[in-house]
Structure 1
Amino acid sequence: MNTGGDRIQRTEQAAFVYGLTLADLQGVVRVRARRTGAGRAETLLPPLATTGLVLAFALFRGLLPAVVVASAVMGLGAGVIGVVRGRRGLARRLHAVWAPYGQCRTVVDDRGAVTTGETMSYTADWKLFTHYAETPDLFVLVGGPRAGCLAAVPKRGAEEPADVDRLRAILDRNLRSL
């Protein structure tokens, strides 16, 4: 019998069971690169710096205009290749860190997220994250102005199809969408 004094507060929950794959983590890195200031800076600065240095060297040496243009294009290409390789390397390193945890179960509610893996468990309060992004395959949680804290919840892990919509609603209440 429920007397007026003890109130049971029901919170909406969403549950996901998944193992993070390399493709998931490549998606996380891609979201960070496209939707955060730090990620965009890391994407744009290497090609611009490489091109600028090559142009400065070519102009300083007094090379022919055709050589200057060709050098600028090669510098830009080298910068872009560096960014692509850097993103792939980051995703591989993240996968190497997460792979030993095996299959994870994440339960999300208005208090935060609790993840339990085969060899670890952790609880993340919503204060840890500031924003989230949704892709066709993932929810990516981003923390801090430099996007140093990242988490991913693959949609394919939803225990029920409605869990994807419940998670979206919980994230909308607690974080800002990117």
Structure 2
Amino acid sequence: MSEDGARSTRTRPTGRSEQAVFVYEPAFEDFRGAVRARARRTGAGRAETALVPLVTTGVMVGFALFRGFLPGLVAVCAVLGLGAGAFGVSRGRRGMARRLHGVMAAYGQCRTVVDERGTATTGRTMSYTGDWTLFTHWAETPELFVLLGGPRASCLAVLPKRGAEEPADVDRLRGILDRNLRRL
């Protein structure tokens, strides 16, 4: 706390470099939203969304044709294969979100500082930093900023907007991300 009682962690432009601070408790829904954004906005996410149901459908139809099923049963197998594939994609995304949340939940309340050098997150039990070479793209949802990295978006970081210390941090973060990463 400063002499005037204001928080000393407020974000301010620091010389040439500004920073945005987010303080939040990691929530499962944040990671679920991030995994959903990854699936919608990256090539890898769109491929897994389409390929798993198509492969499952192809296997089911191939099996039905190999066994000499009647055309009506082949159609039923196609619908069942498509449904099973879509269900598998949905369960896989939920499991990914659960695993990501499990890792971050151990941090407890997180404080993430984002500036021109990258991100630095500190929690109760752990901390990590990442420079901008770790990430390649970013996406925004109504509730989150999602940082994605790698050619297959294998690296994922989540910043919930609810954690912004002040409303200007959301706009400040957009500016920092636009200067350092490509928006999806």
TM-score, normalised on structure 1? 0.93
Give the aligned partner of residue 30 of structure 1. Answer: 36
Give the aligned partner of residue 72 of structure 1. Answer: 78
Aligned-pair RMSD on alpha carbons?
A: 1.1
2:154 paired with 1:169: no
Mapped to 2, the partners of 1:94 and 1:35 lie a distance apart of: 19
List gaps (5 residues or longer) in structure 2: 1-13
Number of equivalenced pairs = 171
CA-to-partner distance for each residue in 1:91-142, whole Å, 9 max, x for gaps? 1111111111000111111111111111111111111100000000000000
Give the aligned partner of residue 7 of structure 2. Answer: none
State the identity %: 72
Matches within 5 A, 1:80-99: 80-99=86-105
Give the aligned partner of residue 156 of structure 1. Answer: 162
The one-letter code matched in structure 2 to 1:164 is V
Question: Secondary structure of 1:63's partner?
Answer: coil
List gaps (5 residues or longer) in structure 1: 1-7
Give the aligned partner of residue 108 of structure 1. Answer: 114
Give the aligned partner of residue 56 of structure 2. Answer: 50
TM-score, normalised on structure 2? 0.90
User: How far 1:64 moved relative to its partner?
Assistant: 1.0
Give the aligned partner of residue 17 of structure 1. Answer: 23
CA-to-partner distance for each residue in 1:2-44, whole Å, 9 max, x for gaps? xxxxxx8431111110011000000111011111111112211
The one-letter code matched in structure 1 to 2:120 is V
Give the aligned partner of residue 123 of structure 2. Answer: 117
